Each structure stands twice: as structure tokens, then as C-alpha cells.
């Protein structure tokens, strides 16, 4: 067994009073500790640098994924808007089978607004650019307010309506009443035959 009792009697505050082997052992221990701490710190610094680099890569990937996710969300929102717009547009074009409904609505509106529907002519379907259109000519008589309300109702109906010609004049028989001559066209939806 080693007796360390001598070490307790040594004055450790004055290294020159220590025996030579103890001084050497202290120096070796201090140097080894310093080297070990430096090695551990260098290793930790390298690990820290590697961790920072990996964190930077992960953050960059995360940002790319967020940007892609945002783009996907934007594209999905745009697709929803386009679907809505397509359905809105398709509801606005007149289907050929809706023509009787339109004519009935037109005569009902003229009665509702106390306008006299003098002429209602449905022309032949014709080509206008890329569309086939249904021309309709009407002559309506009535007061300024009657004709104005009828005109406003036509502007609000569900079909896209293009006014080709519009003329308002005083009636020859009664100058308090007006006559409105209108030629409108309605773009048609032509259903393609399914095969």
C-alpha cells in the first residue's frame, strides 16, 4: 500500500519546495489536462460547426418546402377561382333549349313593368367570331320609367346579352310615351355530342 501522508505535509502553494518527481507529475498532469481540454474543445467546435451546417441545410430545405407549399396553395386557390369562373361563364351563355324560357321571361317582364311589347322577332342563329349567337329584335313602348325598369330587368337576367342596336324615340301618337327598339344577341352554348 502507498503511503500518501507525506503529501499532506507538503506546501503546495510554493511549487519550488516540492520534490522533483511531484513537480514533474504536476506539470505532466496540467499539460495532459490542457491538451485533453483543447482536444475536447476542438472536437466540440468541429461538432458544433457540423451541426450548424446541417441546421442551415435543414432550414434551407424547410424554406424551399414552405415556398413550394405556398405555391401549391396558390395554385389550388387559382384552380378554384377558375372552376368558379368557368361555371359562372357557362351559366351565362344561353343554351338553345332555354330560348322559350327567355322569351317567356321577356314577355312576363314587359307585362310586369307595364311596357307594351309591340314586336318580338327571333332571328336565325348565326356565327359571330368563335360563337354562335341568337339574335332577338324587340320593340317596346311605354313611359320612360316603364322602359327603364324593363331595361334594368333585362340587364339582370342570367344570360349574357350583347346589345347590337339600341334606339329610343318619342311615339308619334303620344309624345309622353317612348318607343325602344333593341336588337340583342345572346351567345349560345352548343353541347357537343358525346361519343
Domain boundaries, the chain: 1-92, 96-187
Which pLDDT band holds residue 77 (cuts at 50, 70, 90)?
confident
Tell me if the pTM is above 0.75: no
96-187 classified as CATH 3.30.70.60:
yes
Q: Which of 3 and 130 is assigned the larger pLDDT? A: 130
Please give the pLDDT value at position 121.
93
Please give the pLDDT value at position 86.
60
User: Terminus-to-terminus CA distance in the chain, angstroms?
Assistant: 105
Residue from 94, 177, 166, 178 nearest 137 by CA: 166
Please give the pLDDT value at position 190.
65
Spatial separation of the C-alpha atoms in residues 194 and 136, rounded to whole Å: 30
Which pLDDT band holds residue 89 (cuts at 50, 70, 90)?
low
- Model pLDDT for residues 133-165, shown as the tens digit of each residue: 999 999 999 998 998 898 888 888 888 888 888
Which pLDDT band holds residue 66 (cuts at 50, 70, 90)?
confident
- Whether the pLDDT of residue 116 is over 70: the answer is yes
User: Rounded mean pLDDT of 88-117?
Assistant: 84
User: Rounded mean pLDDT of 6-28?
Assistant: 71
| Other Cβ atoms within 10 Å of 106 Cβ, number | 19
- Whether the pLDDT of residue 40 is over 80: the answer is no
User: Rounded mean pLDDT of 106-126?
Assistant: 91
Amino acid at each position: 500500500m502507498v503511503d500518501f501522508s507525506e503529501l499532506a505535509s507538503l506546501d503546495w502553494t510554493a511549487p519550488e519546495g516540492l520534490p522533483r518527481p511531484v513537480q514533474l507529475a504536476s506539470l505532466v498532469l496540467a499539460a495532459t489536462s490542457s491538451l485533453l481540454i483543447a482536444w475536447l474543445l476542438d472536437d466540440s467546435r468541429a461538432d458544433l460547426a457540423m451541426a450548424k451546417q446541417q441546421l442551415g441545410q435543414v432550414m434551407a430545405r424547410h424554406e424551399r418546402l414552405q415556398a413550394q407549399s405556398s405555391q401549391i396553395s396558390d395554385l389550388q386557390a387559382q384552380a378554384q377561382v377558375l372552376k368558379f369562373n368557368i361555371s359562372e361563364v357557362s351559366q351565362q351563355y344561353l343554351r338553345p333549349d332555354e330560348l322559350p324560357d327567355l322569351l317567356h321571361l321577356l314577355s312576363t317582364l314587359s307585362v310586369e313593368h307595364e311596357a307594351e311589347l309591340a314586336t318580338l322577332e327571333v332571328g336565325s342563329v348565326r356565327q359571330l367570331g368563335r360563337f354562335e349567337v341568337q339574335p332577338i329584335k324587340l320593340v317596346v313602348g311605354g313611359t320612360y320609367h316603364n322602359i327603364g325598369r324593363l331595361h334594368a330587368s333585362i340587364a339582370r337576367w342570367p344570360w349574357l346579352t350583347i346589345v347590337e342596336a339600341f334606339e329610343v324615340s318619342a311615339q308619334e301618337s303620344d309624345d309622353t310615351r317612348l318607343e325602344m327598339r333593341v336588337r340583342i344577341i345572346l351567345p349560345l352554348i352548343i353541347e357537343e355530342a358525346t361519343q
